[in-house]
């Protein structure tokens, strides 16, 4: 049993899912090109079709619940906000009334424009969100280090992202402890602010103490040694198929951009 556990670290790390087992930079290029295509197209039908694809693909990768929760928040903040702002702020070009709400006339031109803008913003944000939901930061830093990025730089990036998660968990734990002591933490903004501000000082002190613990652990693991570092978890290198796939997606994005520019110049 112990031998089998030790031998498991000699193999490339795999999750069993086709997408999640791709090399991190492969996923980054594919997600980025698809996300950028929504900006280039600037068409709400294409943009929302890509967003629908994100939803389906996220469930295929096993991250559908997490992706849906975050993406719906973005949809409310970006999508609905832009639709309302366009209806209020766009004064010229409105000639086709759609419907009226309490005397407020909604025009088709403003509505289509807001859909175009919100679709490519959601399309771009969704592609980046899908990448980070399906790619652990440690794997991305692993790929960056193999591309020549300093291990110090990769550690700072990884540590910064992890600190945000840790601070959020710590703040929730502090608020729960205050609630158990009878301190009101739920209610209006004033009540919440009174409960929140006392958590800042222990949160900052905890961050300082965790930084010291990390520095001691780094020294114990020879972090500052000037030589090539090893990795506990090895990822399978980018295959030829992945390289071809990245090249095709990149060429498709470039071709799409050139076509849109040429079409705009002809007009």
Q: Are residues 126 and 176 in the same domain?
A: no
Which is more confident, 188 or 244?
Answer: 244
Core vs surface per residue 110-141: b (16+ CB within 10 A) or e: bbebbbbbbbbbbbbbbbebbbbbbbbbbbbb
pLDDT at 117: 85
Residue 256 lies in a domain: no
Which pLDDT value is given to residue 95?
Answer: 63
Q: Please indicate, yes or no, whether residues 33 and 71 belong to a single structural domain of this protein.
A: yes
In a domain, 263, yes or no: no
* Mean pLDDT value of segment 113-126: 88
Is residue 158 in a domain? Answer: yes
pLDDT 10s digits, 31-78: 999 999 999 998 889 999 999 999 999 999 989 898 999 898 888 888
Q: Enter the DSSP assignment of 197.
A: G
Band of pLDDT at residue 256, cut at 50, 70 and 90: very high
Q: Are 229 and 151 in contact (CB under 8 A)?
A: yes
If you average pLDDT over residues 26-30, what whole number do you get? 95
pLDDT at 183 over 70: no
CA distance 255 to 261: 10
Residue 64, both tokens: 């559908």
Same domain, 198 and 102: no
Q: Is 104 within 8 Å of 155 (Cβ atoms)?
A: no
Query: Do 230 and 14 form a contact (C-beta atoms < 8 A)?
Result: no
pLDDT at 176: 72
Of the ranges 8-17, 20-29, 119-128, which one carries the lowest mean pLDDT score?
8-17
Question: Is residue 86 domain-shared with residue 193, that is, in the same domain?
Answer: no
In terms of residue numbers, what domain contains 203?
141-241
Residues 103 and 152 in one domain: no
For residues 177 and 78, state if they share a domain: no
Dihedral of CA atoms 112, 117, 123, 129 in degrees, nearest 10, equals -140
> Which of 150, 138, 158, 147 lies closest to 29, judged by CA?
147
One domain for residues 233 and 147 = yes
Instruction: Give mean pLDDT, residues 212-234.
Output: 67
Per-residue confidence at 254, pLDDT binned at 50, 70, 90? Answer: very high
Alpha-carbon gap, residue 68 to 61, rounded angstroms:
13
Is the pLDDT at 161 greater than 90? The verdict is no
- State the pLDDT at residue 20: 87
At residue 106, the 3 state secondary structure works out as strand
Is the pLDDT at 79 greater than 80, yes or no? Answer: no
What total of structural domains would you count in the chain? Answer: 2
99: three-class secondary structure by DSSP = strand
- Give yes or no: residues 18 and 131 share one domain: yes
State the pLDDT at residue 196: 65
- Determine, yes or no, domain membership for 82: yes
Among 92-101, 172-181, 233-242, the minimum mean pLDDT is found in 92-101
C-alpha pair distances (Å), 180 with each of 67, 188, 190? 32, 19, 20
| Predicted confidence (pLDDT) at residue 223 exceeds the cutoff of 70 | no
For residue 53, which of 70, 31, 83 has the smallest C-alpha distance?
A: 31
Predicted confidence at residue 181, as pLDDT, reads 66
Q: Residue 258 falls within a domain, yes or no?
A: no
128/148 same-domain check: no
Beta-carbon contacts of residue 224 (< 8 Å; ≥ 6 apart) = 218
Which residue, of 107, 135, 163, is where some domain finishes? 135
Neighbours of 26 (CB within 10 A): 20
Q: Is residue 196 part of a domain?
A: yes
Select from 106, 135, 164 the last residue of a domain: 135
CA distance 110 to 105: 11
Q: Is residue 105 part of a domain?
A: yes
258: pLDDT strictly greater than 90? yes
Distance (Å, whole) CA 33 – CA 168: 32
Give yes or no: residues 166 and 200 share one domain: yes
CB atoms closer than 10 angstroms to residue 209: 10
């Amino acid at each position: 049993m112990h031998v089998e556990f030790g031998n498991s670290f000699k193999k490339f790390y795999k999750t069993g899912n086709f997408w999640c087992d791709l090399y991190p930079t492969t996923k980054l290029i594919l997600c980025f090109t698809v996300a950028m295509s929504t900006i280039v197209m600037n068409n709400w039908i294409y943009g929302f079709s890509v967003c629908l694809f994100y939803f389906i693909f996220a469930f295929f990768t096993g991250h559908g619940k997490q992706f849906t929760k975050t993406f719906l928040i973005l949809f409310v903040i970006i999508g609905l906000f832009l639709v309302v702002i366009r209806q209020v702020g766009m004064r010229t070009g409105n000639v086709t009334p759609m419907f009226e709400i309490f005397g407020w006339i909604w025009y088709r031109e403003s509505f289509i424009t807001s859909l175009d803008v919100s679709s490519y913003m959601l399309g771009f944000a969704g592609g980046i969100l899908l990448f980070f939901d399906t790619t652990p930061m440690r794997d991305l830093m692993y790929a960056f280090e193999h591309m020549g990025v300093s291990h110090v730089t990769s550690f700072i990036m990884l540590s910064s992202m992890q600190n945000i998660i840790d601070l959020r968990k710590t703040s929730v734990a502090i608020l729960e402890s205050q609630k158990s002591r009878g301190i009101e933490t739920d209610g209006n903004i004033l009540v919440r602010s009174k409960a929140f501000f006392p958590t800042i000082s222990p949160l900052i002190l905890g961050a300082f103490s965790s930084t010291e613990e990390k520095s001691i652990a780094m020294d114990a693991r020879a972090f500052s040694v000037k030589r090539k570092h090893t990795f506990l978890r090895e990822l399978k290198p980018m295959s030829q198929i992945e390289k071809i796939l990245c090249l095709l997606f990149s060429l498709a994005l470039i071709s799409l951009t050139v076509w849109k520019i040429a079409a705009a110049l002809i007009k």
